[in-house]
Chain A
Amino acid sequence: MDGIVVDARGLRCPMPLLKARKALSALQAGERLEVWATDPGAEADFKAYCAQTGHLWLGIEPGDDDTSPWLKITLACHR
């Protein structure tokens, strides 16, 4: 993928958001960030984060290479 991945699986809210924010600060406009999360609130929280900050919500899909379920959330950096 063009961009970076933050593996926040197993972390409790709000750590996935805090780690994603740190990663986004190092990206250029338009670059992608993929967040891997198991926190059940991640979808709602990242949509709200995008709404407030202007980063672009690109989508969510189930992670597929593990036995326990997780989510793959993709954002694009906005400046």
Chain B
Amino acid sequence: MSDVHNVATQAGSAAGIALILSKDAPDAARAAFSLAATVIALGDPAAIFFTQQGIYWLSHAAQSSPDLDELRGFCQEEGVRFIACSDSLAQTSLSADDLLPGVEVAGAISFYQFARTVAVSLFI
């Protein structure tokens, strides 16, 4: 039992989540936005790195649904960091002006600088 407690304590000292969203499928986006929103609601930091087809979800033109829009909006309002992978962005016809307000455009190093400080990282 004490080992379990110690693990929990260590994870607690580095609380937060770093997500990589690489797909344009709505289910993938829902997973990323739901997890990030939950973590930020609990008062811990969260960031999503949008890469490959995941870039799509940062565009104003994304075909979303009302509840997915609400989740994404909550993430933005509550301070989830949205980071657009600069390399992936360059592979699309989108420019930084086509992205939602508040989105950072940065590379893998910037994402890792955040990810190395948090307890959980997931690739979606």
A positions within 8 Å CB-CB of B: 11-15, 17-18, 21, 49, 52-53
Chain B residues near A21: list those with CB within 8 A.
Answer: 41
Complex Cα spacing A11 to B71, Å: 12
Given contacts A14-B34, A14-B37, A14-B38, 14 further A-B contacts (CB under 8 A): A11-B67, A14-B41, A14-B71, A15-B70, A15-B71, A17-B38, A17-B41, A18-B37, A18-B38, A18-B41, A18-B74, A49-B42, A53-B42, A53-B43
Interface residues of B (CB under 8 A from A): 34, 37-38, 41-43, 67, 70-71, 74
Name 7 interchain pairs, CB-CB below 8 A, sorted by A.
Answer: A12-B67, A14-B71, A15-B70, A18-B37, A18-B38, A49-B42, A53-B43
Least CB distance, A77 to chain B, in whole angstroms = 15
What is the distance, in angstroms, from B46's C-beta to the closest C-beta of chain A? 12
Max chain B Cβ within 10 angstroms of own Cβ: one of A11, A49, A52: A52
Majority DSSP secondary structure for residues of B touching A = helix
Distance from A55 Cβ to chain B, minimum over Cβ atoms (Å): 11
Residues of chain A lying within 8 A (CB to CB) of residue B43: 52-53
Which 3 pairs across A and B sit closest by C-beta, in order of nearness? A14-B38, A21-B41, A14-B34
**CB neighbours of B34 from chain A (8 A):** 13-14
B contact residues around A49 at 8 Å (CB): 41-42
- Rounded to whole angstroms, the CA-CA distance of A52 and B97 in the bound complex is 39
Name the A residues within 8 Å of B70 (CB-CB): 15
CA distance A52 to B43 in the complex (A): 9
